[in-house]
């Protein structure tokens, strides 16, 4: 059987799974678990396991509907709901189909990216597609699925004139370079009809369009050599030409414009001064001009575009917490009014209609699960739409703050500290909870896992160890070659800091984490057992060489391999699986069988190594669990197992 025929059959099976989809109405919010909203008593574990009511809610352009993922009976479904006076309608798909993203295309249509795992000639592939959806979710349109290859969900642009048109890139097969490299297409979301806008080019994997729907850029990247190039044109009448080159092996890169302005200039993020900041950029020479915005001490996260994607309204930043610094004068006033209305809580504008007169605002704080409000600026009306946690409602739990300490080699470390609400902040049992990534960071935000631990009586420290993102290029590079080494020291030094402050009892400490955080927990059990009573890993990496081999099967696998080589000079020496004999504390391992980011094999092998070494451990495998805790049932099982494990080995 040819690859093309095998792919065609796989796509047919995938389509059949989605074709059986049906819509269903959700007539009421889930019943709250535990009467905790108005009291001060302990919060049941089931409350912390609840999924947020709405995930990534987005207003329609006219501001009359919301599209979001909604938690229904512990599982997230894509729903469309009228703002008030009607019931949400949920899109149901097969259990093996993921709804990865969604976006409004006019007021009457949405486009959604879907994906699913399938096997082609013995190899596992994750196939992505796009699905057109009418606003009532009664009509579903497959965007030319049968003529698409493995990757076919890269949305480049959507029309803003009311028509259901989009621009997207897709591969068309797996057999030849013409099939594999994506070409660019225009589609009518309502009919699924497509027409090609630009052919594929060798090693061009990513395409970019401007706010008017003109295809402007392509990024060429050759996996074998690590060399890259930026292809550019000013209009559809021009051919693409190379205007910049890079080489990842020599750490040489180029600026990639983010927004194309009507005056011919562009905006781009650059770390030219050591931190990511937003600059004006001239075209086609990519010369940096005026610095539009930078944040002292932190990288910017991204930009908030205007309605035509031709300029920015604001800058997304995370200092102590995630928020938007508005550059637009009108939005500055709107944010100031929102801030004044909520007092000591925080107001974050999460979605706007096309003319900016209607908004969704999330109000809360790091100790609150948050509430979604609808704000009609013209009508001067703010109305609650949904509590993110129906049981907690507006209740505040354990306090959260940002702290700073210095690692043993003088490196400054920022961390998030959560203290149990009903206990004095003195000689507390401690959980060290490193974030995943590791190119990520923690900030002051609601965290169901952390708040559960604090509710049990633990102080929780979340160090943004070296190699974390957000603190500039130099700090990020400090993590290269330091997996399991100085990155672990940074975690251990948090214990010293909190003990010196009198907050934590250094004799009652456990370490826990997921993904990279799970790796760090396992590594601590092997390397630093004298400092900890126990270790808890969810979806952790135990074998760095093994994860390097796993990643090699994906697109740009050699580049991913070079990434893993930079994590440590000797992958095996810092892989917990091969140091199981040195583990000196009890270990809890948990992993979802459906995890596509870190395969379950990583925890299975660690459990086997601990068993062979005669160590104390527990292993729990979740049959439907994934990498991101997207099911409340998996969250609940995890919290209960963790709580029992801690009660046994490090009681609060």
> Computed over its alpha carbons, how large is the radius of gyration of the chain?
25
Res. 35: pLDDT tops 50: no
Tell me how crowded residue 217 is: count the other CB atoms within 10 A of its CB: 21
| CA distances (Å), origin 139, targets 23, 82, 496 | 10, 17, 59
Cα 73 from Cα 31, distance rounded (Å): 9
Complete domains list, the chain, with CATH: 33-68+328-395 (no CATH), 255-325 (no CATH), 400-649 (3.40.50.1820)
Cα 313 from Cα 293, distance rounded (Å): 12
Q: Which residues have a Cβ under 8 Å from the Cβ of 129 and sit 6 or more positions away?
A: 11, 14, 113, 114, 115, 142, 143, 145, 148, 152, 153
Of 545, 551, 538, whose CA–CA distance to 578 is shortest? 545
Tokens 């349109």 locate to 141
What does the pLDDT average to over 372-398? 91
Q: Hey, what are 164's tokens?
A: 């259901």
Cα 70 from Cα 52, distance rounded (Å): 8
pLDDT band at 87 (very low <50, low <70, confident <90, very high): confident
Burial class (CB in 10 A: 0-12, 13-18, 19+), 77: buried
- DSSP code of 459? E
Comparison of pLDDT for 238 and 566, the residue scoring more: 238
Of 592, 605, 496, 452, whose CA–CA distance to 542 is shortest? 605
484-518 per-position pLDDT tens digit: 999 999 999 999 999 999 999 999 999 999 999 99
138-173 per-position pLDDT tens digit: 999 999 998 998 899 999 999 998 899 999 999 988
Dihedrals phi, psi of 636, to nearest 5 degrees? -65, -45
Q: Which residues have a Cβ under 8 Å from the Cβ of 644 and sit 6 or more positions away?
A: none
Of 449, 455, 395, whose CA–CA distance to 422 is shortest? 455
Q: Hey, what are 261's tokens?
A: 């302005």
What is the rounded average pLDDT for all residues in the chain? 89
Which pTM does this prediction carry?
A: 0.91
What does the pLDDT average to over 58-80? 92
- DSSP code of 31? P
pLDDT of residue 569: 79
271-282 per-position pLDDT tens digit: 999 999 999 999
88-115 per-position pLDDT tens digit: 899 977 767 889 999 999 999 999 999 8
Comparison of pLDDT for 12 and 220, the residue scoring more: 220
Res. 15: pLDDT tops 70: no
């Amino acid at each position: 059987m040819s690859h093309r025929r095998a792919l065609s059959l796989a796509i047919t099976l995938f389509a059949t799974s989605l074709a059986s989809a049906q819509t269903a109405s959700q007539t009421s919010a889930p019943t709250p678990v535990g009467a905790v909203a108005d009291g001060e008593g302990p919060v049941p574990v089931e409350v912390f396991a609840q999924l947020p009511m709405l995930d990534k809610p987005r207003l329609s352009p006219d501001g009359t509907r919301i599209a979001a993922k909604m938690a229904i009976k512990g599982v997230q479904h894509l729903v469309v709901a009228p703002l008030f006076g009607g019931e949400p309608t949920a899109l149901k798909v097969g259990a093996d189909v993921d709804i990865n993203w969604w976006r409004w295309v006019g007021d009457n249509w949405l486009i959604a990216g879907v994906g699913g795992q399938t096997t082609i000639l013995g190899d596992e592939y994750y196939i992505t597609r796009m699905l057109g959806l009418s606003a009532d979710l009664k009509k579903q349109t497959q965007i030319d699925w049968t003529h698409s290859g493995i990757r076919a969900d890269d949305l480049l642009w959507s029309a803003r004139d009311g028509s259901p048109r989009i621009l997207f890139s897709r591969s068309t097969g797996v057999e030849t370079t013409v099939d594999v490299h994506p070409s660019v297409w225009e589609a009518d979301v309502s009919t699924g009809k497509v027409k090609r806008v630009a052919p594929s080019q060798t090693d061009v994997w990513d395409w970019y369009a401007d706010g008017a729907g003109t295809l402007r850029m392509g990024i060429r990247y050759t996996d074998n050599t690590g060399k890259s190039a930026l292809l550019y044109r000013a209009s559809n009448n021009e051919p693409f030409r190379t205007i910049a080159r890079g080489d990842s092996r020599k750490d040489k890169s180029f600026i990639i414009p983010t927004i194309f302005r009507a005056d011919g200039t562009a905006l781009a993020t650059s770390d030219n001064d050591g931190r990511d900041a937003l600059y004006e950029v001239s075209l086609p020479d990519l010369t940096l001009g005026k610095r539009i915005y930078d944040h002292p001490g932190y990288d910017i996260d991204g930009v908030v575009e205007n309605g035509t994607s031709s300029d920015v309204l604001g800058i997304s930043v995370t200092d102590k917490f995630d928020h938007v610094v508005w550059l637009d004068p009108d939005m500055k006033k709107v944010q100031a009014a929102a801030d004044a209305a909520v007092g000591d809580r925080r107001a974050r504008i999460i979605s706007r209609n096309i003319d900016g007169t209607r908004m969704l605002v999330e109000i809360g704080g790091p100790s609150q699960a948050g509430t979604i409000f609808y704000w009609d600026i013209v009508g001067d009306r703010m109305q609650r739409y949904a509590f993110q946690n129906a049981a907690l409602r507006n209740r505040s739990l354990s306090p959260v703050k940002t702290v700073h300490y210095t690692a043993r080699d003088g490196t400054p470390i920022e961390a998030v500290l959560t203290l149990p609400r009903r206990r004095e902040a003195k000689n507390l049992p401690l959980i060290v909870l490193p974030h995943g990534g590791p190119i990520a960071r923690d900030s002051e935000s609601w965290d169901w896992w952390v708040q559960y631990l604090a509710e049990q009586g633990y102080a929780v420290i979340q160090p943004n160890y070296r190699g974390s993102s957000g603190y500039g290029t130099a700090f990020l590079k400090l993590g290269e070659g330091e997996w399991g080494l100085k990155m672990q020291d940074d975690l251990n030094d948090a214990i010293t800091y909190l003990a010196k402050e009198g907050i934590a009892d250094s004799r009652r400490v456990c370490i826990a984490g997921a993904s990279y955080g799970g790796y760090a927990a396992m590594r601590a059990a092997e390397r630093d057992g004298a400092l900890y009573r126990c270790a808890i890993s969810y979806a952790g990496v135990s074998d760095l060489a093994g994860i390097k081999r796993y990643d090699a099967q994906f697109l740009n696998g050699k580049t991913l391999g070079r990434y893993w080589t930079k994590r440590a000079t000797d992958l095996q020496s810092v892989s917990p699986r091969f140091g199981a004999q040195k583990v000196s504390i009890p270990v809890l391992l948990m992993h979802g069988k459906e995890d596509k980011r870190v395969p379950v094999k990583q925890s299975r092998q660690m459990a086997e190594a601990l068993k062979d070494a005669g160590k104390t451990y527990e292993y729990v495998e979740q049959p439907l669990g994934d990498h991101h805790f997207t099911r409340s049932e998996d969250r609940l099982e995890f919290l209960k197992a963790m709580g029992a494990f801690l009660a046994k080995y490090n009681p609060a």
